[in-house]
Structure 1
């Protein structure tokens, strides 16, 4: 694709990055076949190729409009198009640039701006945990749209106390400890059973994704720097082997710290090392499966498996959970079709674009059901708190993190 950036962007680091991405696009349209919003809406401008044209026009000097912003907002950032693209177009990075520019030039209506501010400031806030407790206490009285964002209270279980020579860091996350505390506890117990101790750095907080993808990119980067500061002593001393992520949405963001902070002279080198040291918990599963062989009692009906977009497209990790759990005796089934498509959660998308999010959720659940015509699965398993919460609101079948099921199957 030929480009002629306007003077505003030509020669700038952001402009050069965008131009390099744009020039890789060959207009082939393969991305249309795997774009969830194009599948639903059938509008070229709600496809990656259409959005790329909109961003190209904007970067070449054409003034963006509310319509430009609408089509960029409708993107789930699932990055399925990146998996499909034969030319290696890094669409997600281009979208981050495009959304920031259009936000600056177009602005937002007051209600939309207020909602986005509340999400960006509220979800990573220390006040989120007490607010969630209040919401859970009055959950039955909440309106349906709000109630679906407040899961019933869960027990985290006991945190293992044994010390081991092998240690890893775990990012607790901003919303997960309040919404699904059992996930972190299960992660620590599974690792403990394999002889690995889990540490949590108290000063580490939100991964930065919430603010960054709501166009408070400066605020998101500040949270990234705070995490690097919290983790660095453990990494520099060699105390830990890696940083473990059990929320794939956080994992894909932390793995991109090196890119996002590459122009920061104080943090660039450390950010790159943090990204290189980050592992999704599924990446440890081959070793865990070997260490836990004989300690796991798997059985009963099969499970449904929904791989989050942030795992299969963002981190390019496909097949690992299925292979690892099958090696331990579990039976997992993918959706009968469209296993590669987004469930509609997509971070804050299900709040900002609820109609589209609910359509995609129901579509995903229907395809999962087709794989279980004989009888329902024991549970639907996933690897990201957003997907788990979103899918649970559309079904009576339990939706859980796969690490929780593995934890429960460990022989006492």
Structure 2
């Protein structure tokens, strides 16, 4: 794609990056064929190619605000950032990087209404602090009849008890774990189950309390400086453990994993953190990357269930790990049902299900129809956002896949530390 940036404009790092991404696009339109919002709305401006043209026009004309309207922002807001288009693109266009630049630019040029600003600020403050989120969650469950419908559906039933975590210090092999911000409240058993499964494989999982939200929520709600600040804080928290020999930084939420792997990019221009950020991104591993490389025979899985796996966009399109969880589950003896259109987004997309509820609900219901077609006992996934969004329909049970593996473990025999959990 030909661009028309001035030499002066190209002195700015974000314009140089936008120019690089734009020039890689050949405007073939293959991306529209797999874009969830284009499929629903049929509007060129609600597909990747149309959004690219909108952003190109906006960035090439920084002084012409007449080109940029609330309608422009609506089309960018409707994007799920699922990155399905990147998987489809034959030219390797890094669309999400252009979208981050475009969204920051339109936020500057077309200020939001006070109500929209308040919603986004509230989401950032409510979701990124685990203790605050747990307190708000408890309050919401206590007064659930009074909670507005859109939020009420997000409130979970009583989560599965987390049980106990093994002593991670008994193992020579050590990995870190990012506990997450909303997952400890919504699904506290996920990380505990991860610790128990890895314990069986001789791996100790070290939590680092100083590490907080990965920064994705701030960054994707256009508080990008705050997102970078959270990334720096996490790097500082993890660094002593990395220097002490931690093998990896494990994420059980694929959305967090995708963002931590991008620390190297978002901090590339920070001389104090660029090198450390690159090292952290290198060490970041989705849980499935750990298990697929281990001998899982010691897990001694003793039962099987009929499962449907929903592969989150952040796992298959951002981290390029499509099929990895399915392969591990089949290797462990589980039966997986076929899922049509598995490449399409469920509509969760971080805070999208709250900021764009109508589109998110359509995508959720379409996804559930496909997941339930094979009549699974349980739907499993790899991201807390997808898990909560799919479960909000009140249909088939939705869990994190590692919880199902944990429940299927045979009783421990070496020290009698735990027995298999009941579903």
TM range (shorter): over 0.9
1:131 Cα deviation after fit? 1.2
CA distance in 2 between partners of 1:409 and 1:39 (Å): 39
Report whether the alignment pairs 1:42 with 2:42: yes
CA distance in 1 between partners of 2:349 and 2:405 (Å): 25
Cα deviations by residue, 1:103-154 (Å, 9 ceiling, x for unpaired): 0000101101110011112211241121112222233443332211221232
Please give the secondary structure, in 2, of the residue aligned with 1:346.
coil
Report whether the alignment pairs 1:169 with 2:203: no
Q: CA RMSD in A?
A: 1.3
CA contact (8 A) 2:200 2:298 kept: no
CA contact (8 A) 1:165 1:196 kept: yes
Which residue in 1 is equivalent to 2:420? none
Please give the secondary structure, in 1, of the residue aligned with 2:174.
strand
Cα deviations by residue, 1:2-53 (Å, 9 ceiling, x for unpaired): 0012567322111010000000100100000000000000000000000000
CA distance in 2 between partners of 1:197 and 1:409 (Å): 20
Please give the secondary structure, in 2, of the residue aligned with 1:264.
coil
Report whether the alignment pairs 1:284 with 2:275: no
CA contact (8 A) 1:26 1:87 kept: yes
Report whether the alignment pairs 1:295 with 2:300: yes
Report whether the alignment pairs 1:148 with 2:147: no
Report whether the alignment pairs 1:255 with 2:261: yes
1:394 Cα deviation after fit? 1.6
CA distance in 2 between partners of 1:291 and 1:255 (Å): 25
CA distance in 2 between partners of 1:43 and 1:97 (Å): 22
- 1:196 is aligned, of 200, 203, 217, to 203
CA contact (8 A) 1:6 1:59 kept: no
TM-score, scaled relative to structure 1? 0.96
1:1-400 alignment runs, 5 A limit: 1-6=1-6, 9-61=9-61, 62-63=64-65, 64-125=68-129, 126-154=131-159, 155-161=161-167, 163-238=170-245, 240-288=246-294, 290-293=295-298, 295-300=300-305, 302-335=306-339, 337-370=340-373, 372=374, 376-400=375-399
CA contact (8 A) 2:21 2:95 kept: yes
Change (3 A) 1:119 1:8: farther
CA distance in 2 between partners of 1:141 and 1:50 (Å): 41
CA distance in 2 between partners of 1:10 and 1:206 (Å): 33
Change (3 A) 1:157 1:108: same
CA distance in 1 between partners of 2:81 and 2:112 (Å): 20
CA distance in 1 between partners of 2:105 and 2:243 (Å): 37
CA distance in 2 between partners of 1:182 and 1:136 (Å): 18
CA distance in 2 between partners of 1:65 and 1:6 (Å): 23
CA distance in 1 between partners of 2:132 and 2:125 (Å): 10
Higher mean C-alpha displacement, 133-142 vs 190-199: 133-142
CA contact (8 A) 1:298 1:328 kept: no
Unpaired runs of at least 5, structure 1:
none
Please give the secondary structure, in 2, of the residue aligned with 1:113.
helix
Which residue in 1 is equivalent to 2:417? none
Change (3 A) 1:411 1:273: same
TM-score, scaled relative to structure 2? 0.93
Please give the secondary structure, in 2, of the residue aligned with 1:396.
coil
CA distance in 2 between partners of 1:152 and 1:8 (Å): 56
